[in-house]
Amino acid sequence: MSSADDNLRALAQAQGVYLDFFDLHGVRHEASPDTLRALLKALGTDADSPAMVSEALAARSAQAGMGEIIAFAGDPIHVPVARTCDWALMDEAGAVVSEGRATGAVDLPRLGVGYYTLHLNGASDSETFVMVRPHRAPELATQSRADRCWGTTGALYGLRSASNGGLGNYADLGAVAATFGRAGAQFLGVNPLHALGWAMDEIISPYSPSHRGMFNIDHIAVESGLGPSPEADLIDYSSFRERHRAALEAQFKTRDTAAFAAWCKTCSDETRQFAEFEAISETHGHDFRTWPAALQTPGAEARKAAGKRAEFHLWLQYLADTQIDAAQAQATQSGMALGLYLDLAVGPRPDGAEVWMNADTIAKGVTIGAPPDHLSPEGQSWALAAHAPGPLARARYAPLRSMLRRLMAKCGVLRIDHALGLLRSFWLPDDGSPGGYITQPLDSLLAVITIEAHRAGCLVVGEDLGLVPDGFRKAMNDAGLYSYAVWQFEANHLGEILPADTLPPYSLACFGTHDTPTLSGFWHGTDVEWWQRVGWLSSGDRAARHSHRAKQRASLRDVCAIPSTARIGEIADTIHRGLAQSPAALVSMQMDDVFGELEAQNLPGTINEHPNWRRRLSVPIEAMEQSSALRHISDVMRATRGASPHKEDTDHPEEEPA
């Protein structure tokens, strides 16, 4: 290897680029020079020539100074300084918290949870961002009277009702939450509710948002209703959106201007910018990168171009915002301790509003993906943008802070999709070079998450599936984030599924997710059939996969004592009972499994090959409360979970001991 290659590798390693990684099968993949150069460029460093690499290494060696300080609330904070200086500590509002003169070190007062700025005035002025975090994010025992609980998760878009016209809406969300709350569930989880973009008609995946801090207007319930959901099993988004948007336009003309005006006084500048983006997109298209140059960043020109139409899009966010709040109120009033359980997608689309509004922190020339893993044997390209660690830190994590704050205000639990991205993320260069991992500032990101969760009183679940580095789960759990345990993936080295009592106590456990087959589909191997159908498996591979699935079924029969003659309903009951009896703090049942659906909501790694994000639930929301399926799952859960009081509240006679 040449000295130039050595320098390139040294620079890449210094900037947090992984020089190699091991895949699911333990095979080592070394990052090629092309990959290293592409990832360095995405991080803001040009490394196209040996001279550029040498200059970048020299510049990095010359850098000095404190970028940020992370401390725990109530702990003493000792900050060494090189020379005598005056100092002042400011809070988020810019008010002075404390000040003084220091020689050798600044001793800050014990601080509460929040963000601060330390100003040092001396020979060279400087300022340091100070994040004071709680020791742990909120936990189940502090947010409810229970040490463990259960809930359900499902596809909001797939809900049938007498008035939603074909796509589940926020009114349906509140109704279903109340129904399950009365049945004893403590949370209702749904797909991400992020904004997809008014002008992006082709996007239906909730995991491909335009902006993760704004809300999906497809789910707004219109005053007049749109009639009953069609009988078809699959959603026709185009037809629905045509009727739904016409109804929204008509309702806007008769809107409650006083309530809207009151809400506008409290909405953020970001929300207004998003409304401007949406208005401009109606004229210039969904991809801001093709807009006139003056409009490719927020500002006066964009505001002028958006004109009065921005008010309509701001009003849509008002409706979504207030309707989600109403759904959370219905959930908690029904008896749910936690209520809504929302989902944070990995990233935004490169053409969308979040990238437009945060151009300074977005990594250039790459998108996020994943190497081959349990969910997709071919690996995945998610076509999502990534925030670059350095620029994000220099922006004091403002995009992340505001996004989390907005989402956590709406729910009792927030799930972070692909939480491994807090430690490292897999970036795929646009130039076609092989992908590679980038180190993320785990401690800083956990500080932001725990601060925002503390303020909102929101539990956090980190979806830690896939290739999990040693120590990651412990770091996440130590910060109060719950792991995400999918029982069908919890197996030994032979591929045999482990007993439910081995599921991690500090986790949200489930049998499957929107990315896996349903319980019935798992048992019958429908996912294997789909993998062959889309061309991922040969006939020999298909047979091997079915053989492996047979081993998984046999192991479940063994650990759950499922008779060989049991039918799928009895099998589902037994598996759900196993989950309920597991040590996991939170247990979730897929709504598709509660009502006996066969096909999965999504097949990871596909777009059009499988009807992703289109499947409707067979049971309408009006029939759920009286359904035998819901009563049955409620009985199963209540027998072990629904009546499990917190250890400090055992004096409540209305609650039965577990």
The answer to whether 366 touches 39, Cβ cutoff 8 Å, is yes
The whole-number average pLDDT for the span 233-255 is: 97
Which helix (DSSP H) or strand (DSSP E) does residue 96 occupy? strand 96-102
The whole-number average pLDDT for the span 42-65 is: 81
Residue 657 lies in a domain: no
**Which of 252, 179, 177, 242 minimizes the C-alpha distance to 222?**
252
The answer to whether 237 touches 168, Cβ cutoff 8 Å, is no
**158 in the same domain as 101:** no
pLDDT, position 648: 37
Q: What angle do CA 496, 501, 503 make, to 5 degrees?
A: 75
The pLDDT tens digits for 447-473 are 999 999 999 999 999 999 877 888 999
The whole-number average pLDDT for the span 151-177 is: 98
Residue 412 lies in a domain: yes
**304 in the same domain as 419:** yes
pLDDT, position 65: 52
The more confident residue out of 370 and 568 is 568
Q: What is the domain-level CATH number for residue 370?
A: 3.20.20.80
Does this model's pTM top 0.85? My answer is: yes
Flag whether pLDDT at 335 surpasses 70. Answer: yes
The whole-number average pLDDT for the span 81-85 is: 89
pLDDT, position 644: 38
Flag whether pLDDT at 380 surpasses 80. Answer: no
**541 in the same domain as 392:** yes
Flag whether pLDDT at 487 surpasses 60. Answer: yes
The answer to whether 571 touches 553, Cβ cutoff 8 Å, is no
Helices marked H in 232-358: 237-253, 257-264, 269-284, 300-306, 309-333, 353-357
pLDDT, position 379: 67
Q: Token match 């991080």: residue?
A: 43
Q: What is the domain-level CATH number for residue 118?
A: 2.60.40
Q: Token match 């109340």: residue?
A: 178
Residue 433 lies in a domain: yes
**Which of 68, 76, 155, 156 minimizes the C-alpha distance to 111?**
76
The fraction of the chain above a pLDDT of 90, given in percent, is 83
Q: Token match 């990651």: residue?
A: 472
**Average pLDDT along the chain:** 92
Flag whether pLDDT at 616 surpasses 90. Answer: yes
**26 in the same domain as 150:** no
Helices marked H in 299-379: 300-306, 309-333, 353-357
Q: With H, G, I as helix, E, B as strand and everything else as coil, classify residue 107.
A: strand
Q: Which of the listed residues 106, 133, 160 is the one where a domain comes to its end?
A: 133
Q: Any bridge partners for residue 117, and if so which?
A: 90, 129
Q: Which of the listed residues 27, 42, 62 is the one where a domain comes to its end?
A: 62
Q: Provide the angle, in degrees to the nearest 10, between the axes of the packed helices 3-14 and 50-62.
A: 40
The whole-number average pLDDT for the span 517-536 is: 94
Flag whether pLDDT at 64 surpasses 90. Answer: no
- Residue 14: DSSP 8-state: H
Q: Which of 34-48, 203-217, 305-319, 361-375 has the lowest mean pLDDT?
A: 361-375
**96 in the same domain as 45:** no
Q: Which of 159-173, 245-259, 600-614 has the lowest mean pLDDT?
A: 600-614
pLDDT, position 63: 59
> Residue 523: which domain range?
140-649
Name the residue type at position 595: F
Residue 555 lies in a domain: yes
**87 in the same domain as 180:** no
Q: What confidence category does residue 649 fall into, taking pLDDT thresholds of 50, 70 and 90? A: very low
The whole-number average pLDDT for the span 10-23 is: 91
**535 in the same domain as 621:** yes
pLDDT, position 407: 98
**145 in the same domain as 53:** no
Q: Any bridge partners for residue 133, and if so which?
A: 72
The pLDDT tens digits for 421-453 are 999 999 999 998 989 999 999 999 999 999 999
Q: How far apart are CA 487 and CA 36, in angstroms?
A: 37
Q: What confidence category does residue 650 fall into, taking pLDDT thresholds of 50, 70 and 90? A: very low
Query: Both ends of the chain: CA-CA distance in Å?
Result: 64
**237 in the same domain as 381:** yes
Q: Which of the listed residues 133, 150, 181 is the one where a domain comes to its end?
A: 133
- The total of structural domains in the chain comes to 3
* Cα 629–chain centre separation: 29
pLDDT, position 59: 82
**620 in the same domain as 509:** yes
Q: With H, G, I as helix, E, B as strand and everything else as coil, classify residue 508.
A: strand
Helices marked H in 515-567: 519-524, 526-533, 539-560
Residue 655 lies in a domain: no
The whole-number average pLDDT for the span 213-237 is: 97
The pLDDT tens digits for 569-596 are 999 999 999 999 999 999 999 999 999 9
The dihedral built from the CA positions of residue 422, 426, 429 and 433, taken in this order, carries a sign that is positive
62-65 long-range contacts, Cβ below 8 Å, gap at least 24? 65/126
**226 in the same domain as 113:** no
Flag whether pLDDT at 411 surpasses 90. Answer: yes
The more confident residue out of 65 and 380 is 380
Q: How far apart are CA 630 and CA 596, in angstroms?
A: 11
Residue 69 lies in a domain: no
Tell me the C-alpha to C-alpha distance, in Å, between residue 244 and each of 164, 210, 324, 372, 491: 9, 19, 18, 39, 45
**357 in the same domain as 239:** yes
Residue 382 lies in a domain: yes
**Which of 626, 517, 616, 576 minimizes the C-alpha distance to 152?**
576
* Radius of gyration of the CA atoms of the chain, in A: 26
The fraction of the chain above a pLDDT of 70, given in percent, is 95
Q: How far apart are CA 330 and CA 335, in angstroms?
A: 9
- Name the token pair of 236: 């026709």
Residue 606 lies in a domain: yes
